[in-house]
Copies of this chain bind each other. A is one copy, B any other.
Amino acid sequence: MPPSSPTARRAGTAALTIQDVANHAGVSKATVSRFLNRGGEQLSADIEARVSAAVRELGYSPSPMAQALKRGKSRLIGLVVADVSNSFSVAVLRGAEKACREAGYMVMLFNLGNDHVLEREAIRALSSYQVEGFILHTLGNDAAALADAARLHKPVVLIDRRSGDAQLDLVGLDNDAAVRMAAEHLVEADYRQLLFATEPMKGVGSREQRARTFRSFVAERPDMLAGSTFEAQPGDDAALDAALRALRRDAGAKPCAVLAANAVIALRVVAAVARLGWTLGRDIGLLGFDDPEWAPLVGPGLSAISQPTDDIGRFAINCLLERLRGITLPPRQILLPGTLNVRGSTRRS
């Protein structure tokens, strides 16, 4: 049978094509395509009406796949995340996905599951699907992966963490301001011996940045404040307990407090304090980054710096979209302010 007669198509319910619409309206594919893309600008009123009606009646919408193949653009954005289980990651993901959809894009997700060898494969797989750009929330040590992306001329926006030396757009918390806000709060609450607890730095920009600012803050107040840093290895609770004991010992009579670099480490400190039989706030202060849902519920409540995660996701997408529209600017840093939520873990009484 010759492939088609103008009438009588659409057996079953296969997706309709632009040709179906053209037949229905009695015009050519090209005309329909023009109507769809240039919005009926260059069409006669009569034709426009017919095509418009046909599209509506048939409920037609073009195939993004075919469009992608033709124009090399897919209206797809690749989102690579070190660990979806991380509450910060999901929160950002949420904002990003929403902003994406509002701009007519879809998100293609790749979770590294903390296996950072996958980073290259991630951007490779994603770009084979023609994603137009990348949002990366990873350790970002893999320069090769970034190079791949750059070579494909696909824009990249980093979230939270600066990646190597690459000059890329970055959106995240204003770590410097946030750490200062946090430390100042601890000082005002009378804590005098401070410990900055973090996951292993591993070259992660935001962790190093926070640690650096913390050290500066302490160094600027040599007479009233002492401070040190502790990198907690995953699983090694004993070392963490020891570090906390050392903190109180070093503090002597002075009140001491921990500044936890993120929610994961804050959770571990809370657990350690419980193991040691201490009371948060009184025996030891604790202030964490990120403000997880459980923060109000542990002991007297965990004081925390909350990040504007939704905004971070939104800004990242907007930043990417601007690049896609061809804006050529030097790499930007968009740093958003955090918010301090004071709870019982930083009240000594």
Residues of chain A having any CB pair with chain B under 8 Å? 13, 15, 61, 63-66, 68-69, 74, 84-85, 90-91, 93-94, 97-98, 101, 106-111, 113, 124-125, 127-130, 151-152, 267, 270-271, 274, 292-294, 296-298
In the complex, the answer to whether B296 meets A271 with C-beta atoms within 8 Å is yes
Alpha-carbon distance between A208 and B209 when the two chains are bound, in angstroms: 49
Q: How far is the CA of A124 from the CA of B64 in the complex (A)?
A: 12
In the complex, A97→B113 CA distance in Å?
10
Are A97 and B111 touching (Cβ within 8 A)?
Answer: yes
The 3 A-B pairs with the shortest beta carbon distances in the complex, nearest first, are A294-B294, A297-B298, A109-B109
Closest beta carbon of chain B to A121's beta carbon, Å: 9
CA distance A294 to B297 in the complex (A): 9
Complex contact B267–A297 (CB within 8 A) = yes
Q: In the complex, which residues of chain B have a beta carbon less than 8 angstroms from the beta carbon of A93?
A: 84
CA distance A124 to B68 in the complex (A): 18
Offer 13 A-B interface pairs, CB within 8 angstroms, sorted by A: A13-B151, A15-B128, A63-B69, A63-B128, A65-B69, A69-B69, A84-B94, A85-B94, A101-B125, A107-B109, A108-B109, A270-B297, A293-B294
Task: Tell whether A107 pairs with B108 under 8 Å between CB atoms, given A90-B84, A297-B267.
Answer: yes
**Shortest distance from the beta carbon of A144 to any chain B beta carbon, whole Å:** 13
**Measured CA separation A151–B16 after assembly (Å):** 13
Known: A108-B107, A130-B65, A293-B267. A85 touches B74 (CB 8 A): no
Chain B CB count within 10 A is highest, among A65, A74, A274, for A65
Q: Which residues of B contact A64 (CB under 8 A)?
A: 128-129
Interfacial chain B residues near A294, Cβ < 8 Å: 267, 292-294, 297-298
Q: Please, which residues of chain B bring their CB within 8 A of the CB of A128?
A: 15, 61, 63-64
A85 to B109, CA, bound (A): 15
Contact between A152 and B106, CB atoms less than 8 A apart? no
What chain B residues lie within 8 Å of A151 (beta carbons)? 13
Query: CA A128 – CA B129 in complex, angstroms?
Result: 15
A15 to B148, CA, bound (A): 12
- Cβ A84 vs Cβ B66 within 8 A: no
- Whole-angstrom distance between the alpha carbons of A63 and B127 in the complex? 9
Query: Which residue in B98, B106, B127, B297 is a CB contact (below 8 Å) of A125?
Result: B106
In whole Å, how far is A174's beta carbon from the nearest beta carbon of chain B? Answer: 24
Closest B-chain residue to A309, C-beta based? B85
In the complex with contacts A61-B128, A65-B69, A297-B267, A108-B111 CB distance below 8 A: no
Give CA–CA (A111, B92) in the complex, Å: 13
The reply to whether A84 and B97 form a contact with Cβ atoms under 8 Å apart is: yes
- Closest B residue to A270 by CB, please name it: B297
| Beta-carbon nearest neighbor of A66 in chain B | B69
Chain B residues lying within 8 Å of A108, measured Cβ to Cβ, are 106-109
In the complex, the chain B residue whose C-beta lies closest to that of A118 is: B101
CA distance A315 to B171 in the complex (A): 36
Measured in the bound complex, the distance between the Cα atoms of B298 and A94 in whole Å is 27
Given contacts A108-B109, A274-B297, 17 further A-B contacts (CB under 8 A): A63-B69, A65-B68, A65-B129, A66-B69, A84-B90, A84-B94, A85-B90, A85-B94, A94-B111, A98-B111, A98-B113, A106-B108, A106-B110, A267-B294, A271-B297, A294-B294, A294-B298
Residues in B with CB closer than 8 Å to A130 are 63, 65
